[in-house]
Amino acid sequence: MGSPVSFFFEVVISGLLAGVMYSLVALGFVLIYKASGVLNFAQGAMVFFAALTFVSLVERGVNFWLAIAITLAVMIVLGILTERIVLRPLVNQPAITLFMVTIGLTFFLEGLSQGIWGSQPHGLELGIQDQPMQWLADRTGMFVSQFDLFASAVAAILVTGLALFFQRTRIGRALRAVADDHQAALAVGIPLKQIWAIVWAVAGFVALVAGLLWGARTGVQYSLTFVALKALPVLMLGGFESIAGAIVGGLIIGASEKVAEVYVGPYVGGGIESWFPYVLALVFLLFRPEGLFGEKHIDRV
Amino acid sequence: MLYREAGQFRATYAEDQQIFPLRQDRVAIGVLLVAAFIAVPLVADQYWLSALLIPFLIAALAALGLNILTGYAGQLSLGTAAFMAIGAFATYNFVLRVPGIPILAAFVLAGICAAIVGIVFGLPSLRIKGFYLAVATLAAQFFVLWAIQRIGWITNHSASGVITAQNIAILGVPIDTPRAKYLLTLSVVAVLALLAKNLVRSETGRAFMAVRDMDVAASVIGIPLMKTKLLAFAISSFYCGVAGALYAYTYLGTVEPEAFNLELSFRILFMIIIGGVGSVLGSFLGAAFIVLLPIALNLVVPPISEAAGIEIPHAIISNLELMIFGALIIFFLIVEPLGLARLWQIAKEKLRLWPFPH
Amino acid sequence: MTPSDRGIGAPILAVEGVSLAFGGVRALQGVSFDVREHEVRAIIGPNGAGKSSMLNVINGVYHPQEGTITFKGRSRRDMVAHEAAAQGIGRTFQNIALFRGMTVLDNIMTGRNVKMRSTFLEQSIWIGRARREELAHRRKVEEIIDFLEIQHIRRTPVGRLPYGLQKRVELARALAMEPELLLLDEPMAGMNLEEKQDMCRFILDVNEQFGTTVVLIEHDMGVVMDISDRVVVLDYGRKIADGTPDEVRGNQTVIDAYLGVAH
């Protein structure tokens, strides 16, 4: 180990893997945005809620898989309730109003989850160690965490599954129709409300997966809701309506953030990952306001 | 009948364009100012001044700043606290490095520093809109806090970036008691609120609202979008900067950069949503609400739980507070998007006829 | 009245060889025409002919790939919208583009913004020049309010007004700019007969009393033939005819373009 080149690759790879974790959160945003035009800031709070519910159940002696099943059920109910109570009364309101309402939802969910389960931090154990893979280190001299690889594999399965769901199933096609044009979809008889409920349920599921992986990595605590802040620059880069954009955006942000932190950080005092992704996304947006994969809209007047 | 405008004729446009055309409003605001400047300092104790009124006034000023940008010019910002931080730390440096600078001059200069940074972070608004812009303002929030923490010069190389506000005086009168701090805060806030009220009812304010309501139409009738948006960012950031300076000098005293975190930005956003987007009065109502709610909860919940025989720990109350904030945001956005200010207006319209049904 | 009686003079606006495309869609192809001072000039054509795009090019909302626009003797490829306004081009939109959060009075006052000189600092102190300006422009706006007979809705938020009145408020806002050239995009669309008659009267009054040059898009052929001095016909982004209402009416290409469209 030790050559600058292999160190660089190590940095890039660990950045890409961290980026996958960002993509995972971003995915939940994209699902809801595509179906209902809402930038759901509360996705981070949903991730926290899922992780906290799961870990609290396990700590109370519930079986691992049963805990997953219960949490999934809770998340689906939560998603559907959110759609019903919070968003349906606001149909056809400006996007910015919908965004603000999800900030309110974020606070509500934070209070609710901690009100139910308490505010103390928890550890979450999935059985996979956050350690470098020995055989890879032996052969290439690069240290890559096996937990990161596991998380990436899960994310890959999730993305493939969602892609198949959208491409191959009737619900998926209906959802793409809804994403294109609400009114037209309604006119050809697609049950809009049912589709929204399904999407919120799926977003709840994605939040659960992200909550388990992020919770295992950072512990389950209040700050977990801030994973949303990691996903937002990814979305600005990749566009709010593209699953591919969420993945590619996550990888770009993850890798460049790590590279910047390692090679630039020391000269400016470190800690630049709090703002670097935002500035990167911002500079990118100035040249391409519709994002990486977003569609260009022509203002008709 | 109490709030009747019958018999009050406005014969000239000058009369019609007064800041408060109705006699009742003029009387009410006069009474309010007399009470705030004379009665309150005589009556209120230290707790009232330092823990309630000063933070309320500062929050109202910050909310007013955000309201100029978001409520009037339609550009949502999530970086309010960052501009407050600039105001606080810039004031610290002006007082530290410019011997004998009058504190009010330091406040104004600090506000101008915040305004300049506001213009820089407002530049993306020329190309990106809506929540893309809102997300972009998070860049300001994170970058500014990072810069204050990492650049030692800004905090005079103090440990972990904590600064202690210097003692201040105006015309030789030291501002060291809660009463003096309250009066200073009140004066600054009252003057800036008056200026803001004048601004939003004149050409600049109409340009802001035009850009907010329909930017293409605004440019077609001759309103330059770039200048208007950047001016909104500058003025808004100036207000937030002065609020931040007061936050450090008349409220906290000792400040760390983390005091101006995203949580504070959200709180101020909540103030304008609950108080009223696009309303000067709403900024004050919303600030009062958000500042008073936690205090009210801590007053009300323990006696109830005692009576019921259950002990409710403090952590639960703070979670309850989060839930109530969240629920209120959702409630107001759905039911009354124009907030408490709109409810107040409706109440006034009712009072015009009260107690008669017609 | 003959054109010379009404003081129709030299061209105030000339459009030469303007082409505009959005991606692969060609909205305008090599369109040229001129507008003379004080005349009422109509642009007609089937849906999608490029009429609104033409107005958007003239006042700088769209930027054409080719061609020049000459307004009051100054030629340029394209305009910046707010500069076009400052040079005296006013505009109303096909789909009403009022500021929905503001009252009628404030909407019309925005039309005076371009003429105000006081800075935001003077305005926030509300003394001296800022106050004088506010009063002077208010007086001017009240004249327009009287002229268009909308005194009773002064304080009403525009969102609460019926469609016909909103159209009138939008005209008032454009007039508040005291434009030399007024672009009207389907000012009578969706109106009933009485409202149309009112609107026709207002347009002709504006033209006669203020001497404002008017370019309008309109689908109602009766209106076009009655009030316009000359007519440009567009079809698929090209100019297919140009002349007096009578000339255009008899033009075979125009009849073909409109064939099957009842008017």
Q: Write the residue in B198, B207, B219 that is nearest to C125 by C-beta.
A: B198
> C150: which 2 tokens?
């909308």
Residue C28 dihedral angles phi and psi, to the nearest 5°? -140, 140
- Are the Cβ atoms of B214 and C100 closer than 8 angstroms? yes
pLDDT at B84 exceeding the cut of 90: yes
- Cβ pairs bridging A and C (under 8 Å): 6
Distances (CA, A) of B222 to A170, A300, B6, B227, C36: 50, 19, 39, 12, 23
C-chain residue closest to B221, CA distance:
C85
The structural domains of chain C, with segments of one domain joined by +, span 11-88+179-258
Show the CA angle centred on residue B263, arms to residues B260 and B268, nearest 5°.
85
- Show residues of chain B in contact with C81, CB under 8 Å: 216, 219-220
Contact A301 C22 (CB under 8 A): no
CA distance C123 to C104: 21
Question: Which is more confidently placed, B237 or C154?
Answer: B237
Q: Comparing A66-70, A123-127, A225-229, B207-211, which segment has the lowest mean pLDDT? A: A123-127
Question: What residues of chain B lie within 8 A of the CB of A110, using their CB?
Answer: 319, 322, 326
Q: With beta carbons under 8 A apart, name residues in chain B contacting A268.
A: 150
Q: What is the pLDDT of residues B299-344, one digit of tens each?
A: 888 888 888 877 777 778 888 999 999 999 999 999 999 999 999 9
Residue C157 pLDDT > 80, yes or no?
A: yes
Confidence of residue B235 (pLDDT cuts 50, 70, 90): very high
Q: What is the mean pLDDT of residues A255-265?
A: 89
CA A65 from centre of chain = 22
pLDDT higher than 70, residue A1: no
Write out pLDDT tens, residues C6-47: 678 889 999 999 999 987 888 999 999 999 999 999 999 988
Cross-chain residue pair B221–C133, CB shorter than 8 Å: no
- CATH annotation of C11-88+179-258: 3.40.50.300
Distance CA C90, CA C176 (A): 9
Which token pair is B217? 């139409």
Q: Considering only A276-285, B202-211, C170-179, which range has the smallest mean pLDDT? A: A276-285
Q: At A296, is the pLDDT very low, low, confident or very high (cuts 50, 70, 90)?
A: low
Q: What's the full length of chain B, in residues?
A: 358
Tell me how far apart the alpha carbons of residues C130 and A80 are, in angstroms, rounded to a whole number.
Answer: 54
Res B143 pLDDT > 80: yes
CB pair distance less than 8 Å for A111 and B321: yes
pLDDT above 80: residue A297: no
What distance in Å separates residue C106's CA from the closest CA in chain A? 22
Residues contacting residue A223 through CB under 8 Å, at least 6 positions apart:
none
Minimum Cα–Cα distance from B279: chain C residue: C101
pLDDT exceeds cutoff 70 at A142: no
The conformation of residue C38, written as its DSSP 8-state character, comes to: T
Give the pLDDT confidence score for residue B179 in this predicted structure.
94
Q: Tell me what the pLDDT averaged over chain A comes to.
A: 85
Binary contact (C97, A298; C-beta < 8 A): no
Minimum Cα–Cα distance from A265: chain B residue? B150
Model pLDDT, residue C260: 52
Closest listed residue to residue B141, CA positions, set A226, A239, A20: A226
Q: What percent of chain A stands above pLDDT 90?
A: 29
By residue count, chain C amounts to 263
pLDDT > 70 in chain A, percent: 93
pLDDT score of B60 more than 90? yes
More confident position, B239 or A170: B239
If you average pLDDT over every residue of chain C, what do you get? 90
Please answer whether residues B221 and C111 qualify as being in contact, where contact means their C-beta atoms are separated by less than 8 angstroms. Answer: yes
Give the gap in angstroms from C-alpha C55 to the nearest C-alpha of chain A. 10
Residue C21: partners with Cβ closer than 8 Å, 6 or more residues away = C27, C65
Question: For position C262, what pLDDT does the model report?
Answer: 45
- Minimum CA–CA partner of C158 in chain B: B213
List chain B domain ranges: 36-353
Tell whether the model's pLDDT for residue A66 goes beyond 90.
yes
Q: With an 8 Å Cβ cutoff, is B280 touching chain C?
A: no
Whole-structure pTM value: 0.92
- B79 and chain C in contact, CB less than 8 A: no
Residue of chain A whose Cα is closest to the Cα of B124 = A286
Percent of chain B with pLDDT over 90: 72
pLDDT at C261 over 60: no
Residue numbers of A between 261 and 300 with CB closer than 8 Å to C: 298
Q: Residues B141-165: what's their mean pLDDT?
A: 90
Query: CA–CA separation, C163 vs A29, rounded Å?
Result: 38
User: B13 at the C interface (CB within 8 A)?
Assistant: yes
Query: How far A97 CA lies from chain C's nearest CA (Å)?
Result: 15
- Mean of pLDDT values over B31-46: 92
pLDDT bracket for residue A295 (50, 70, 90): low
| Residue B248, CA distances (Å) to A156, B46, B107, C64 in order | 49, 18, 11, 53
Average pLDDT for A52-66? 93
C101: closest chain B residue by CA: B213
Element (H, E) at A285: helix A276-287
Q: How far does B146 lie from chain A, in Å, by closest CA?
A: 7
Percentage of residues of chain C with pLDDT beyond 70 = 96
The CATH architecture one would assign to domain A4-287 is Orthogonal Bundle (1.10)
- Per-residue pLDDT, B256: 94
At residue A133, does pLDDT exceed 80?
Answer: no
> What residue spans define the domains of chain A?
4-287
pLDDT of residue B1: 53
Q: Which residue of A has its CA nearest to B327?
A: A108
Say what the ipTM of the complex is.
0.91
Confidence bin at A187 (pLDDT 50/70/90):
confident
Cα B216 to Cα C26, C169, C228, distances in angstroms: 22, 17, 28
Q: How confident is the model at residue A73 (pLDDT cuts 50, 70, 90)?
A: very high
Contact between B262 and B82 (Cβ < 8 Å)? no
What does CATH list as the number for B36-353? 1.10.3470
Is C93 in contact with A301 (Cβ distance < 8 A)?
Answer: yes
Any idea which of A115-119, A161-165, B261-265 has the lowest mean pLDDT? A161-165
Mean pLDDT of B48-52: 92
**Amino acid identity of B87?**
G
Number of H helices, E strands in chain C: 10, 10
Pairwise CA distance, residues B115 & B119, whole Å? 6
pLDDT given at position B128: 84
Q: Do C177 and B221 touch (CB under 8 A)?
A: yes
Would you give the distance in Å from CA B305 to the centre of its chain? Answer: 34
User: Are residues B138 and A90, on separate chains, in Cβ contact within 8 Å?
Assistant: no
Query: Between A185 and A62, whose confidence is greater?
Result: A62
Task: Give me the residues paired with residue C214 across strands.
Answer: C40, C182
State residue A18's pLDDT score: 86
Cβ neighbors of B339 (< 8 A, separation 6 or more) are B272, B273, B274, B275, B276, B277, B279, B282, B285, B286, B332
Q: Nearest CA of chain B to the CA of C263: how many Å?
A: 31
